[in-house]
Copies of this chain bind each other. A is one copy, B any other.
Amino acid sequence: MNDNKNYKHETSLDRVAGNGLLSRRHLLGLSLAGAGAAVAGNVLGAEAPALSMPAWSRSPGRGPSEYGNPSTFAAGIKRLAPPPNATLPGGGASRTPLHLLQGIITPNSLHFERHHAGVPDIDPAQHRLVINGLVRQPLMFSYEDLLAYPMESRILFLECSGNSGGAAGPTAADTSAGGLHGLLSCAEWTGVRLSTLLDEAGVLPEASWVSSTGADGASLGRSIPLNKALRDVFIALYQNGEPIRPEQGYPMRLFVPGWEGNVSVKWLTQIKLTDMAANFKDETSRYTELLPDGKALQFTFPMGTKSVITSPSGQMTLRRQGIHEITGLAWSGRGAIRRVEVSADGGRSWADAHLEPNQLELALARFRLPWLWEGGPAVLQSRATDSAGNVQPTREVFLNTYSPANRYHFNGIQSWAVSAQGEVKNVYA
């Protein structure tokens, strides 16, 4: 059904950069059909064809259900997880299949996971959150207590600081967008402002850091400066409307907007006010960036300005010449996304992708641009700019900043090569 060769005879397509990138005005397709360059569609006679009526149209289907599931025909859309019986010292991870999804919201069942001693199964009635240290009045909260507080909701991305670390390695992995960048998700989070609880406890003047600890087997702990904690940090209780999932810290997690995922401590059980960082294991031996001189950066909190093309993606094959939509995600830990550029010729020429106006701060942005693939080789790249003016660096610039061993905070531009056969592959270009 994909006879789409008419474009070869067309001159009205508005090319905006090299190797087939088309104007965003073609996004709605309105001028494509007129130009004879429509994407697909079987041409029929004047009336509907005598299709045989499928079985599902000839009998009633199943009734309503209490908690729905995807179609069995969509069972291939799942997190990229290790085999269920894999030995997982340190807890492991699963990645969001970004190349199979659309929009900016990640459904809860597909939100990425990263944990250091597995997922605890916490009874919320038994769980407690303590706030202590440099406060006038230490406090303890049950889950029920927190549910009674004023809440706020925000759509926010969450990214592991090790995301895309594979793209910093010596050889380009043969993988998909989700395989390479899938420690990244975005949801509407709802919870109680940490400032509300800290105000109740009464922060003492000498306090300048906040350390948080989880109730998991790793007792994972992280420190953040008090000024960030008071600015926009909250205790998340809901994720896309429903209670947060066990993998996300049920019954409660810290949520630190825009900052590396590890500081958004899950299964949160203690918040302690101190006059210095606690220097937890996971902020000294880990989650630091090794520099060329062998020293390490501690406390690189905001995630970098970054974008990834999710379709086409590595491990896909373009099955026809003609117009394809290049689409992907962009985000920044320092503001909203203002611009995403796309290249089809490995960075020699760039065109602005379409972004909806009024992009949210610290959320994913979905970008789109039509691309005419005429059967030749191509190298697809994207480059994000945020509202603070930060521009996503090239891979080379990123690598020159750190030791070759560093795998944290990679935000370099990544390349998908398209072969003349339509095979899409991760490359270093």
Contact = CB atoms under 8 A, between A and B. Distances in A.
Contact of A41 (B2, B189, B197): B197
Instruction: Name the residue in A2, A43, A63, A66 with the highest tally of chain B Cβ atoms < 10 Å from its Cβ.
Output: A63
Interface stretch (A7-15, A126-134, A274-282, A288-296): A126-134
Interface in A54-86: 54, 56-74, 77-79, 81-82, 84, 86
A166 interface: no
A141 B42 CA distance: 6
Contact of A109 (B41, B68, B74, B250): B68
A110 B325 contact: no
Interface residues of A, number: 137
A370 B38 CA distance: 54
Contacts of A242: 70, 74, 77, 100-101, 107, 110
A241 B153 contact: no
A419 interface: no
A377 interface: no
A34 interface: yes
Interface in A80-118: 81-82, 84, 86, 88, 91-94, 100-111, 113, 115, 117-118
A200 to B, nearest CB: 4
A63 B41 contact: no
Contacts of A148: 2, 39-40, 324-325
Nearest to A58: B217
A2 B138 contact: no
Contacts of A245: 68-71
Given A63-B118, A70-B245, A121-B72, A325 B150 contact: yes
A65 B42 contact: no
A103 B49 contact: no
Interface string A184-204: 000111100101110111100
13 contacts: A33-B196, A41-B139, A41-B141, A41-B201, A60-B117, A61-B217, A62-B119, A64-B82, A64-B88, A70-B245, A71-B245, A100-B242, A101-B242
Given A44-B139, A61-B91, A62-B119, 7 more contacts: A2-B145, A41-B201, A43-B139, A63-B119, A74-B242, A77-B243, A101-B238
